Amino acid sequence: MESMDLRALTILLVDDNANMRKVVGAILKAAGVRHILEAEDGLSALKTVQAREVDIVFTDLMMQPVDGLAFIRWIRTSPASPNVFLPIIMMTGHATRRTLNEARMAGVTEFLAKPLTARGVMHRINEVINNPRPFVRATEYFGPCRRRRIDHDFQGAERRGAALPDIRDALTEMAPEDVY
């Protein structure tokens, strides 16, 4: 991965654990990020994104009174959202198939399991900057394309309007780095 110049980015860290915000903040500062904002929960994060321009959000899943999923849904679907295309990286210590699927359905851009590593954080930033996913709108979904690998030679019927298949089998065959 080439070195990226992250000095101009403004990144919002949303986590109810102050120590986790410090850890991620230290990783970002070491990578050159100069503008780091913090919020303790989804409600504080909503206020922050309405008041300030943010380039990337790192959010925890479980917080009170507004959790990460509700925050993501608001960003993606609210008419009051300042940027429905905002890259959102979800961090969680509760990385299960269920939480991954819920995050994907809410419109998360990338998913990062705790405990975090600097390599994992930088990989997700690289993905949202250098490999952005196209956004799609379906009957009950708006957000980044949930397909990790797009087969440009696919000749079958469009499936975006159909119900999602059970992803358990596909996830068991993937390495954690391939999932999100």
Give 81-128 pLDDT, tens digit per residue: 999 999 999 999 888 888 888 999 999 999 999 999 999 999 999 999
**Distance separating alpha carbons of residues 141 and 104, to the nearest angstrom:** 10
The Cβ of residue 25 has, within 10 Å, a number of other Cβ atoms equal to 17
Bridge partners of 60?
Answer: 91
Residue 123, class by beta-carbon neighbours within 10 Å (0-12 exposed, 13-18 middle, 19+ buried)? middle
Query: Whole-model pTM above 0.95?
Result: no
Q: What tens-digit pLDDT sequence spans the chain (180 residues)?
A: 457 889 999 999 999 999 999 999 999 999 999 999 999 999 999 999 999 999 999 999 999 999 999 999 999 999 999 999 999 999 998 888 888 889 999 999 999 999 999 999 999 999 999 999 899 988 888 899 877 655 556 566 655 554 444 444 444 444 444 444
